[in-house]
């Protein structure tokens, strides 16, 4: 029986980061992966989706090039080559996977290919042998729940990761789900001129986000020709797809339903679950103290959160106690335009009875946004009324996923409106809208 300090099960953005960090801290570490290094995020999820969105954006921008004085392009002369876009996506994924292989080798992390079975709180079986360790970290990810589509013929349902690997895309699609992946996928497919219907089980898209962001997405979809039907289930029908009480003509249904945890086989390791996800404490420990869980299996469905949880778990094993600060963890949507958010929503502040001030600056008033032709969106800042501490920032803009990092840094250092408006940004830039929204929240707007 081989003995290690740490066994990490799953090599996604949580698992491989945890393994590298453990090795950096002097722990004898082994990483077990049954499929591909990089996990869902790198191979079938985040990275492929983002690359295909960039391809779709490029196509849309070419069709709109006449607004910038570039003529000769039209929908008749320009076509989108999905097969080639997928090939370019595969090239990028392959390069990133090799990068992870290099980092694991550099940090002396042993990698074993195979499915892990947890035998006890310290033992794992893989590839016909049993490994033991002082600590085990589960990072096995999640997948879209297939149950909401159980009544549909199997040949009509396309898993979202399968969609990103196909050599063609049907013309008419129903997107099952109303959360992040569903909205991103709908936006991307719309840009390449597919007919898209979003069927969301909740009464509004992304109900956990600030209401202003959910409303923007719904309005944007309507303008883009994406049909949104909320509060419905999808069932089969002879005349098409039954979405609630309506019949929708579609070639396929893309499964972007709420995700469910992928748990490794377990024997004599009774982990407590909540709503199908592994229950953890503030340091990622499960109900079995020697076993930690990070990433999607804990119900936190974002790659960067998984990485932060992985570092937190390893640090706790090393004797460092620093919980993950979820409040100051940014959330992003890679659609057109992008969305970024961090901190409290307005609804949460009202529920907690926190008195706050709000500053909102529209992208239509941003010179850089006008220059780029990307004037959809806004920056909204929520701050404590008494002390001015920034409590939440919500952004809809081109490159909002990058811009939100500045807001996260501000909140991480407990920055105030005064701190925010004292930061001078280059002009013209989209980032200077943070300062303008800060002035608005303080009651003294400069450019409004």
- Does the active-site annotation cover 399? no
What is the distance between the terminal CA atoms of the chain, rounded to a whole angstrom? 69
Beta bridge partners of 240: 237
Distance, in Å, from the CA atom of 108 to the CA atom of 435, rounded to the nearest integer, reads 45
How far, in Å, CA of 176 to CA of 202, rounded? 11
CA distances for 267 relative to 7, 50, 297, 322, angstroms: 16, 38, 18, 31
How far apart (Å, rounded) are the C-alpha atoms in residues 333 and 44? 17
The C-alpha atoms of residue 206 and residue 345 are separated, in whole angstroms, by 12
Residue spans of alpha helices (H) in 232-283: none
Q: What is the C-alpha to C-alpha distance for residues 408 and 343, in angstroms, rounded to an integer? A: 8
How far is the C-alpha of 93 from the C-alpha of 117, rounded, in Å?
28
Residue with tokens 């994406």: 226
CB of 45 closer than 8 Å to CB of 68:
no
Q: Provide the greatest CA pair distance for the chain.
A: 69
- Helices first, then strands: H and E counts in the chain: 13, 24
Cis ω on the peptide bond leading into residue 428 (within 30° of 0)?
yes
Annotated catalytic residue within 315, 399, 427, 447: 427
- Asked whether the beta carbons of 343 and 194 are under 8 A apart, the reply is no
Q: Is 252 helix (H, G, I), strand (E, B) or coil?
A: strand
> Length of the chain, please?
448
Beta bridge partners of 137: 8, 292
What is the number of alpha carbons within 13 Å of residue 98 lying toward its C-beta?
A: 6
Backbone angles phi, psi at 153, to 5 degrees: -60, 140
Residue 233 near residue 223, CB atoms below 8 Å: no
Supply the residues annotated as catalytic: 427
């Amino acid at each position: 029986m081989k003995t290690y300090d740490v066994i990490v099960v799953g090599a996604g953005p949580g698992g491989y980061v945890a393994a590298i960090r453990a090795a950096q801290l002097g722990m004898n570490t082994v990483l077990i992966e049954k499929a591909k290094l990089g996990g869902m995020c790198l191979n079938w999820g985040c990275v492929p989706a983002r690359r295909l969105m960039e391809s779709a954006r490029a196509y849309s921008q070419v069709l709109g090039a006449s607004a910038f004085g570039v003529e000769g392009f039209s929908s008749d002369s320009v076509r989108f080559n999905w097969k080639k876009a997928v090939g370019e996506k595969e090239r990028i994924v392959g390069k990133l996977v090799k990068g992870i292989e290099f980092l694991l080798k550099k940090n002396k992390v042993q990698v074993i290919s195979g499915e892990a079975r947890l035998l006890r709180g310290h033992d794992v079986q893989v590839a016909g042998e049993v490994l033991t360790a002082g600590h085990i970290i589960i990072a096995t990810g999640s997948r879209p729940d297939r149950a909401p589509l159980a009544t549909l013929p199997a040949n009509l349902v396309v898993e979202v990761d399968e969609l990103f690997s196909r050599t063609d895309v049907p013309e008419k699609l129903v997107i099952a789900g109303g959360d992040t992946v569903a909205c991103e996928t709908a936006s991307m497919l719309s840009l390449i001129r597919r007919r898209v219907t979003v069927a969301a089980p909740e009464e509004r898209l992304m109900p956990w986000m600030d209401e202003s962001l959910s409303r923007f997405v719904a309005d944007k979809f309507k303008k883009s020709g994406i049909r949104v039907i909320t509060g419905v289930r999808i069932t089969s029908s002879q005349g098409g797809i039954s979405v609630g009480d309506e019949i929708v003509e579609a070639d396929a249904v893309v499964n972007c339903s709420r995700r469910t945890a992928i748990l490794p086989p377990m024997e004599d390791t009774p982990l407590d679950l909540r709503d199908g996800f592994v229950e953890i404490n503030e340091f990622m420990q499960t109900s079995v103290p020697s076993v930690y869980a990070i990433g999607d299996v804990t119900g936190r469905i974002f790659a960067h959160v998984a990485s932060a949880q992985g570092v937190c778990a390893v640090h706790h094993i090393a004797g460092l106690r620093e919980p993950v600060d979820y409040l100051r963890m940014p959330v992003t949507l890679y659609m057109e335009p992008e969305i970024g958010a961090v901190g409290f929503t307005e609804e949460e502040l009202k529920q907690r009875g926190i008195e706050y001030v709000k500053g909102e600056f529209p992208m239509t008033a941003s010179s850089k946004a006008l220059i780029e032709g990307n004037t959809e969106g806004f920056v909204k800042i929520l701050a404590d009324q008494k002390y001015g501490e920034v409590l939440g920032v919500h952004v809809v803009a081109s490159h909002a996923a990058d811009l939100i990092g500045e807001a996260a840094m501000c909140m991480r250092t407990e920055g105030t409106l005064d701190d925010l408006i004292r930061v001078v940004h280059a002009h013209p830039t989209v980032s200077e809208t943070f300062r303008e929204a800060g002035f608005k929240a303080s009651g003294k707007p400069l450019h409004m």
